[in-house]
Amino acid sequence: MRSSGSFRQRWADPALTVLAIELAVAIFIVAPVGVLAPRSGLVLPLLLTALVVTPVLLAAVLVASTSGAARAAVFVAIALIVTGIVLGFQGPSVAGTYLHLIGSLLLGGTLIWVVARAVFAPGRVTYHRLVGTLVLYLMIGSTFAGLYGTLGLLVPHAFGGMPPREDGPAVIAHALYFSFVTLTTAGFGDVVPTHPLTRGLANLETVVGQLFPATLIARMVTLELTSRHGAAGVDPAR
């Protein structure tokens, strides 16, 4: 038990960097390319990517978190996402898209909880913890994307510029695109919320996108100063 704890303590911070790489690949490469998969024979490469990404993601979460509930939630979320992907490969499937989106929401909420605890825990601010803040940012955008995609399937005319709901990979890719455009306040206007629910959610994400960097910087500075004062034997309250 003691060796297991020391192993986690040693590799918890590097695991945040692994998570950042995995999420960046999934969001910025796998999801956009997935739109082309049914039309260009990229099903096998995408499936192989999912099979490679999943074990590494699980390993990173196992190291970064000591919570059994968090690990179980990640297992369930990945199972839902993979099932949704497989159903989508067999043909247009709204059910597969629902499974993918629900799995993304579960994964997003779990990773936000796990990574926030690791990033904002007391101690020295390391490079890996700074990368962990990128994980948080990516997961906020991905979680909102899951909400947008789910509302897009449930609510008629929730968005303008979205693909047909039967085209699962395109719906997911467009939801991710709209989410990060909203989070960063880029606002290109090619996908627009047209329903009060989606407009309210977009407003909320815009506020989060503005407050997150300021709150993050303040917390990181506080942690670093506290760590330095503690190392020097100085009471930080003075």
121-141 residue pLDDT tens: 777 777 878 888 888 899 899
In angstroms, the CA 227 to CA 225 distance is: 5
For residue range 143-176, list pLDDT tens digits in order: 999 999 999 999 988 999 999 888 888 888 899 9
Contact 206, 182 (CB under 8 A): yes
Contact 220, 130 (CB under 8 A): yes
Helix orientation angle between 168-183 and 127-154, rounded to the nearest 10 degrees:
120
Residue 200 above 90 pLDDT? yes
Contact 100, 134 (CB under 8 A): no
- Mean pLDDT for 54-82 is 73
pLDDT at position 174:
92
The torsion region of residue 195 among left (phi > 0), alpha (psi -120 to 50) and beta comes to beta
> How confident is residue 6, by pLDDT bands cut at 50, 70 and 90?
low
Residue 237 above 50 pLDDT? no
In angstroms, the CA 62 to CA 141 distance is: 23
- List the helix and strand counts (H, then E) for the chain: 9, 2
pLDDT at position 1:
45
Q: Which uninterrupted H or E stretch holds 193?
A: strand 192-193
pLDDT at position 51:
55
Residue 55 above 70 pLDDT? no
pLDDT at position 168:
82
Average pLDDT, the chain: 79
Least trusted range by pLDDT, from 105-109, 154-158, 183-187, 215-219: 215-219
pLDDT at position 63:
56
pLDDT at position 62:
60
More confident call, 78 vs 198:
198
Residue 216 above 90 pLDDT? no
- Furthest-apart CA pair in the chain: how many Å? 65
103 CA to centre of own chain? 11
Amino acid at site 116: A
Q: What are phi and psi of 156, to 5 degrees?
A: -60, 140
pLDDT at position 134:
87
pTM equals: 0.83
Residue with structure tokens 């060796």? 3
